[in-house]
Amino acid sequence: MSKIATRDAYGEALVELGEKNESVVVLDADLSKSTKTAGFAKKYKERFFNVGIAEQNLIGISAGLAAVGKVPFASTFAMFATGRAFEVIRNSVGYPKLNVKICATHAGLTVGEDGASHQSLEDIACMRAIPNMTVIVPADGVETKMAIHAIADYNGPVYVRLGRSAVPVINDESTYKFEIGKGSLLKEGSEVTIIATGIMVSEALEASKELESKGVSVRVINIHTIKPIDKDIIIKAAQETGAIVTAEEHNIIGGLGSAVAEVISENYPALLKRIGTNDTFGESGSPNDLLKKYGLTKDNIVKAVEEIIVKKGVK
């Protein structure tokens, strides 16, 4: 399987957009080489603004640009994009429903060695809580590119969560259709559903293979849009499989797992097990060491599915 970081796909998509849409402007806060906005900056110099190390201003300026008709893509690390600038996003972007695209890279544990101060494990929760905000977490490079084009055509605030490390390409460029707000069924199954987002989608697929070989029928769903979430696909999974395991590279509080819990508890209560970081800060280490230490691997998903099946039998 080929691998590409979602931030690289983002950089490529921006260059394509620059050509396609004259209104697109890109902003960064001294991290253009890491966020991959540097490609756009080189090609469309006059439509790129590096605001320096000033994330609140990054969002504030973007709001102003959007208010006068531009389509700003504001980029920095997820930690600083959503953390430092939270209230600016809420009051200057969410509240007036401005057309700002906040595309944040280096989200989650896999930013790795920089450690806890740079590992954003609460951004989905924060962004999800802001009215009018759409929240997208692409699973691979193909999905990222399609998502970036889709949000450029959509009018309204969007948060896109991207990663630092290369991840396996799981979607087929020629057949995959990305639609904001629609979950993507990756594999049919009848006993349990794994609902994953971001880098955990490929782990979920790997886990399902192992489980199938053990005779467990597993459905796998990729929820790339955390908000608005695809209620139908989740309710159907609850009805048809009766048990759901969620997996995300984020605190289990407030992210995908919480969003799925909200949907099923109000519509069709089913067994649920959430995989994510367990209300803890991360630490420095290689991405793989961290995923292992904090329980975000294929093996953790397999174990969770096996546990939930036992519960289901008892129930």
Partner 1 sequence: MNEQVVVLQEKANIIRKHIIEMLHESASGHPGGSLSAADILAVLYFDEMKVDSNNPKWEDRDRFVLSKGHAAPVLYATLAEKGFFQKEELMRLRKIDSMLQGHPDMKGTPGVEMSTGSLGQGFSASIGMALSAKLDKKEFRVYTLLGDGELQEGIVWEAAMAAAHYKLDNLTAIVDYNQLQIDGFNKDIMGVDPVGDKFKAFGWNVIEVDGHSIEDLLNALKEAKKVLGMPTVLVAKTVKGKGVSFMENAVDWHGTAPTLEHKTKALIELGGE
Ligand X SMILES: Cc1ncc(C[n+]2csc(CCOP(=O)(O)OP(=O)(O)O)c2C)c(N)n1
- Compare residues 38 and 137 and give the one whose CB is closer to partner 1: 38
Q: Is residue 55 annotated as part of the catalytic site, yes or no? A: yes
Contact between 295 and partner 1 (CB under 8 A)?
Answer: no
Contact between 31 and partner 1 (CB under 8 A)?
Answer: yes
Contact between 117 and partner 1 (CB under 8 A)?
Answer: yes
DSSP letters along 292-307, please?
Answer: HHTT-SHHHHHHHHHH
Contact between 36 and ligand X (CB under 6 A)?
Answer: no
From the candidates 46, 55, 122, 173, which is the catalytic residue? 55
Single out the residue of 50, 132, 217, 267 in contact with partner 1 (rule: CB under 8 A).
50
Q: Which of partner 1, ligand X, none lies near 129, with the C-beta cut-off 5 to 8 A by kind? A: none
Contact between 80 and ligand X (CB under 6 A)?
Answer: yes
Contact between 39 and partner 1 (CB under 8 A)?
Answer: no
CB of 117 to ligand X, least distance (A): 7
CB of 111 to ligand X, least distance (A): 11
Q: Which residues of 50-86 are buried (b: 16+ CB within 10 A; e: fewer)?
A: bbeebbbebbbbbbebbeeebbbbbbbbbbbbbbbbb
Contact between 84 and ligand X (CB under 6 A)?
Answer: yes
DSSP letters along 2-52, please?
Answer: -EEEHHHHHHHHHHHHHHH-TTEEEEESS-HHHHTTHHHHHHSGGGEEE--
Contact between 53 and ligand X (CB under 6 A)?
Answer: yes
Nearest alpha-carbon partner for 57 in 33, 87, 32, 23: 87
Size of the site for ligand X (CB under 6 A): 6
DSSP letters along 255-289, please?
Answer: SHHHHHHHHHHHH---EEEEEEE-S----SS-HHH
DSSP letters along 216-247, please?
Answer: --EEEEE--EEES--HHHHHHHHHHHSEEEEE
Contact between 75 and partner 1 (CB under 8 A)?
Answer: no
- Compare residues 44 and 80 and give the one whose CB is closer to partner 1: 80
CA distance 5 to 103: 14
Contact between 32 and partner 1 (CB under 8 A)?
Answer: yes
Single out the residue of 30, 240, 283, 307 in contact with ligand X (rule: CB under 6 A).
30
**Interacting residues with partner 1 (CB under 8 A):** 28, 30-34, 38, 50-54, 56-57, 79-80, 83-84, 112-118, 283-286, 289-290, 293
